[in-house]
């Protein structure tokens, strides 16, 4: 499967310090996305371990991810990479993303851009199914982010 790029923005009614505090609370953000299982903080704002669990077609995915913060400029920017695999079904996932917080008066625009790639047996299901799942994950994140500041 080729790499899929994404770019989404949302303006929330809160200052960047409050938004930064929320988006860097890993337990909170992990709860926003249904496929994220357990998350372990190895080094605050530096490295984490997480498990993704989901069903895609006939496959039950259980990938262990290693997450590394690659850029950090509080409270405006955080970038990360996540890589992992499900050895049982022979599939790998790689994500890289950058989140920027831009003050807009008393609000904050949150922009997330990045890419993901899924390879191996799950990728045989087709790019459209994987893109649909990727869009669902982004929808969950941005919906929860909006609700966090209502």
CATH number at residue 69: 3.30.530.20
Decide: helix, strand or coil at residue 124. Answer: helix
From first to last of the 150 residues of the chain, give the pLDDT tens digit. Answer: 678 999 999 999 999 999 999 999 999 999 999 999 889 999 999 999 999 888 877 777 788 999 999 999 999 999 999 999 988 888 899 999 999 999 999 999 999 999 999 888 777 777 788 888 889 999 999 999 999 999
Global pTM reads 0.90
Domain total in the chain: 1
Burial label, 118 (beta-carbon count in 10 A; 0-12, 13-18, 19+):
buried
Least Cα distance to 21 among 119, 104, 101 occurs for: 101
- Alpha carbon distance 132, 140 (integer Å): 12
Using an 8 Å Cβ cutoff, are 65 and 49 in contact?
Answer: yes
Q: Give me the domain span that covers residue 65.
A: 4-148
């Amino acid at each position: 499967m080729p790499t899929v790029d994404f770019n989404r923005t949302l303006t929330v009614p809160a200052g960047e310090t409050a938004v930064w505090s929320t988006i860097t609370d890993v337990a909170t953000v992990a709860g926003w996305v249904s496929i994220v299982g357990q998350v372990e903080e190895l080094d605050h704002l530096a490295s984490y371990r997480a498990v993704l669990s989901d069903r895609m077609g006939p496959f039950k995915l259980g990938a262990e991810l290693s997450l590394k913060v690659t850029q950090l400029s509080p409270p405006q920017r955080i970038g990360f990479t996540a890589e992992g695999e499900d050895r049982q079904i022979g599939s790998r996932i790689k994500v890289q993303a950058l989140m920027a917080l831009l003050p807009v008066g008393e609000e904050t625009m949150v922009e997330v851009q990045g890419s993901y790639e899924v390879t191996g047996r799950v990728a045989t299901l087709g790019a459209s199914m994987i893109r649909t799942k990727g869009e669902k994950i982004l929808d969950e994140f941005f919906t929860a982010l909006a609700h966090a500041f209502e």
